A and B are shown apart, each in its own frame.
Chain A
Amino acid sequence: MSAVARTAAERLGLRDGVVREVRSGELVIDAAAGDLPELADAAVAQLGARLLSIFASDDRVAHGGFTVHHVWWLPELRTLLRVSAAIDPAEPSFPSIASKHPSANWFEREAMDLFGLSPLGHPNPGRVALHDDWPEGVFALRKDFADDTAVARAAGDFHPFRPVSGEGVFQVPVGPVHAGVIEPGHFRFGVAGEPVLYLQMRLFYVHKGIEKRFERLPWRHGLFLAESISGDTAVGHALAFAHAIERLAAIDVPARARSLRVILLELERIYNHVADIGALATDVAFSLPASRAQALREGLVRLQQRLFGTRLLRGTVAIGGVKTDLSDAGRRDLQTHLETLEREFDELVTTLIDAGTFTDRVDATGVLAHQVARDLGIVGIAARASHVDGDLRRDLPHDAYDGLQFEVPVEDGGDVRARLMVRAREVEQSFRIVRQVLEALPTTALCASLPVDLPAGSSALGWVEAWRGPVVHYVATDERGRIARVKVNDPSFLNWPGLIQAVPGNIVPDFPVINKSFNLSYSGNDR
């Protein structure tokens, strides 16, 4: 039994041997369903655990039942912990932890919607993933539901939104088709004149059945599906999926590939952060820095196309390594480009924060208080802007991050400006990271050789700190080594409830800039 597993067992008050370290960074507890709430309380109280996912799997064929999994991040022990509990199909339910741990809220309701497992004791057990015209009693992620089933629309009432009443109080419905070039979702503002009283939202308009589709595709093709979970996080999701497969099949990624993966992930971070900072300027009608940022972003994605073949870095990550090498000429090209970009980016940020007209709009706008961020289990940029520290690149290093020097910027304000500043400071750190990698790029193969089949009846977690926050994939195989279950966790899923808390008290015209400062993925959330 490993030291970390023993420490975890001691702190959780469990017998020796109950906590297993299945591989580095991955502890597993097989628990009784009834023990899930107590284990969750203990993990949070004794180990400072943060929830990364709750999901179900249909293991009725293999084990005669369903399974509910909790995935925790234990920053102090520098490991993940998966707690899995078997569920009797005769009583398809599991004890909810959502009333004590609000970050479980949507996860548990999603397991209810897609597997038909009821979260007992959930404070608000309504649908989250299913729209109202999905019939009762049909569960898409169960194994006896074929992915090409035609499901008739159920008739009935439209989604009930919380009513508003009182003089001058009304609702503003927005979406799913928005005014700008953004993804679909429905927002319902309850407003008293200009100020927003509350925000409700309806997502899952772009639910594409990705998790189900993984079960149908050959495992190698899963990588292309992973690249399309959220187009702006193609590298992040491809890497998280590749990590899960590599850990599951014990594939060693060559050193050069690990270093190149760091470059890819940091380039993705830089181009998204630069674009987002420009978009914040757009949303307050400050056009010079907005178009400057767009030009910087365009220069960067063209560099990416030159170096790696595609503008948005698709087709760069391979299972077992990377697909494209960086030549010496490419390395110089990248170095030169980043030097110029660093200077221009600095000018861009200075232009913004020196302009009173800009800071007037972003200071104290869309505040997500520290305690609220903690309680809701917010992750990534949005968490760090509300002084909730944590970054998997530092705390649970993947790829080549272990040997690299960098800081994790944290801000106190929790407002639009804090989220902007976290991005700006992260871009500086990304430059620093890429420079270090370029100075010491190992000379090895680009990709490990892959097995024909994956190990049967196995499972693994893969994770990365992508630009928005942690991306975590769970991959399990069946008795023939085919993909049995992939659970995709985009940080957006944990962070949308943060937006709901950050908007009330602000005026409706500030919503776009608040929303953009979170810039959550609808597709990553809805899958």
Chain B
Amino acid sequence: MFSILANSLKTGIRTEPVPFERPVPFGFPVIDFARCTMCDQCARSCPTGAIRSAAPAPGRRTLALSYAACIQCRECVSACPEHAVSAGTQGEVAAYTREQLQQSALFDVDPANGACTLRHVDVQPGPGLEDSAARLRARIHGRLGRSLHVRQVDAGSCNGCELEIAATSNPVYDLERFGIHMVASPRHADVLLVTGPVTRNMEIALRRTYEATPEPRMVVAVGACGCSGGIFGEGTYAAIGGVDRIVPVDVYVPGCPPTPSAILNGLLVAMGKRMASAQAAATRSGD
């Protein structure tokens, strides 16, 4: 007993005061569209279709990148012959809509030689992050106070996200100090933290869990699968896809898996305590 107490005192406090804004080695990719020649190598290398190219009209081509589906495998970084794709270093990406995790570039195609020239880059189509934040605040304003009760629902995850969600409770991140509590029942919960490419066999359980959560309720979708179906895809016989195909989602936390600080950040965004940031910052040698 005394040795346990002594041990506890000796160890001291392991909790980090601010667990955010540490650069991660392999974050989300950042495309320098000005250097892009539309060779499609990145799109072909992407295992989840997070990067897609299209030809919407004659003489026009687009390249779109969505962090919702990105599993941070960095295949695109090594595939790009122009070194226009680099691995970002920002860990805590979150957004209020799937679209806010997207950016796309429009190119003019020269009919003579097929060369592509960048016309413009469209970052985060749809409502801006501030607007979305204000709307979410208006919906839940004053109802949740300064604490948040969270029920986690694994709707088909590989358990990678569960490992990192569990890590938010460890002494280093200690999510309870932010007023966030993991609760045992949806009936006690303000927010559902949902992972996985919602499987056919979890769809009904997810709907029922959502219905059992009292209003005003929020949903935070976690991971590439929860945001988009990820590597498992959408609309297969077994995986329906992103959580928003089943229940409305208020905050998206992409990543495969997102780090504990990214998950914590997503919950604080849902509480209105932190601002969502949907773009990864690039650090590239020579910039």
Contact = CB atoms under 8 A, between A and B. Distances in A.
B164 interface: yes
B199 A206 contact: yes
B88 interface: no
B153 interface: yes
Given A205-B205, A208-B197, A291-B170, A309 B26 contact: yes
Interface stretch (B6-14, B35-43, B100-108, B272-280): B6-14
A343 to B, nearest CB: 13
Given A183-B159, A295-B172, A314-B72, 15 more contacts: A148-B236, A179-B184, A182-B154, A184-B202, A206-B156, A206-B196, A208-B197, A210-B232, A213-B233, A231-B159, A232-B160, A292-B11, A294-B169, A314-B73, A315-B74
Contacts of A309: 25-26
Interface in B216-244: 230-233, 235-239
Nearest to A175: B205
Q: Could you say which of A208, A232, A295 has the most chain B C-beta atoms within 10 Å of its C-beta?
A: A208
Contacts of B72: 310, 314-315
B257 interface: yes
A291 B237 CA distance: 41
B71 to A, nearest CB: 6
29 contacts: A149-B237, A176-B202, A176-B205, A177-B209, A180-B182, A181-B162, A181-B166, A183-B154, A184-B202, A208-B197, A212-B236, A224-B71, A224-B73, A228-B230, A230-B158, A231-B157, A231-B257, A232-B159, A232-B160, A292-B7, A294-B171, A295-B172, A305-B25, A309-B25, A309-B26, A312-B160, A312-B164, A315-B26, A315-B72
Given A209-B238, A295-B14, A315-B73, A228 B231 contact: yes
A43 B92 CA distance: 54
B160 A234 contact: yes
Interface string B144-163: 00000001111111111111
Given A140-B237, A228-B231, A231-B162, A205 B202 contact: yes
Contacts of A523: 157-159
B168 to A, nearest CB: 9
A225 interface: yes
A145 interface: yes
B270 interface: no
A147 B25 contact: no
Contacts of B283: none
B24 interface: yes
> What is the interface residue range for chain B against chain A?
35 or more
A116 B156 CA distance: 24
B4 interface: yes
Nearest to B4: A288
Nearest to A521: B159
Contacts of A183: 154, 157, 159, 162
A347 B163 contact: no
A187 interface: no
A521 to B, nearest CB: 6
A229 interface: yes
B205 A298 contact: no
B162 A288 contact: no
A309 B182 CA distance: 29
Contacts of A11: none
A292 B10 CA distance: 12
Interface in A436-493: none
Nearest to A205: B201
Please report whether the interface of chain A is mostly helix, strand, loop or mixed according to DSSP.
loop
Contact of B238 (A176, A212, A228): A212
A255 to B, nearest CB: 23
B205 A288 contact: no
Contacts of A170: none
Contacts of B200: 131, 151, 207
A124 interface: no
Given A182-B154, A183-B162, A314-B256, A131 B201 contact: yes
A224 B47 contact: yes
Interface in A202-222: 204-210, 212-213, 217, 221
A297 interface: yes
Contacts of B48: 224
Nearest to A184: B154
Contacts of A107: none
A522 interface: yes
A151 B237 contact: yes
A214 to B, nearest CB: 11
Contacts of A314: 71-73, 160, 256
Nearest to A145: B237
Interface in A124-151: 131, 140, 145, 147-151
- What are the 5 A-B residue pairs with the smallest beta carbon separation, nearest first? A231-B160, A209-B238, A179-B184, A294-B170, A221-B47
Of the listed residues B155, B158, B162, B230, the one surrounded by the most CB atoms of chain A closer than 10 A to its CB is: B158
A329 to B, nearest CB: 15
Contacts of A205: 156, 199, 201-202, 205
A305 B163 CA distance: 15
B167 interface: yes
Interface in B1-57: 3-4, 7-8, 11, 14, 24-26, 47-48
Interface string A280-297: 000000001001101101
B185 A311 contact: no
A116 B11 CA distance: 58
B202 to A, nearest CB: 5
B259 interface: yes
B7 A351 contact: yes
A125 to B, nearest CB: 21
B8 to A, nearest CB: 6
Nearest to B185: A179
B254 interface: no
Nearest to A355: B4
B154 A208 contact: no
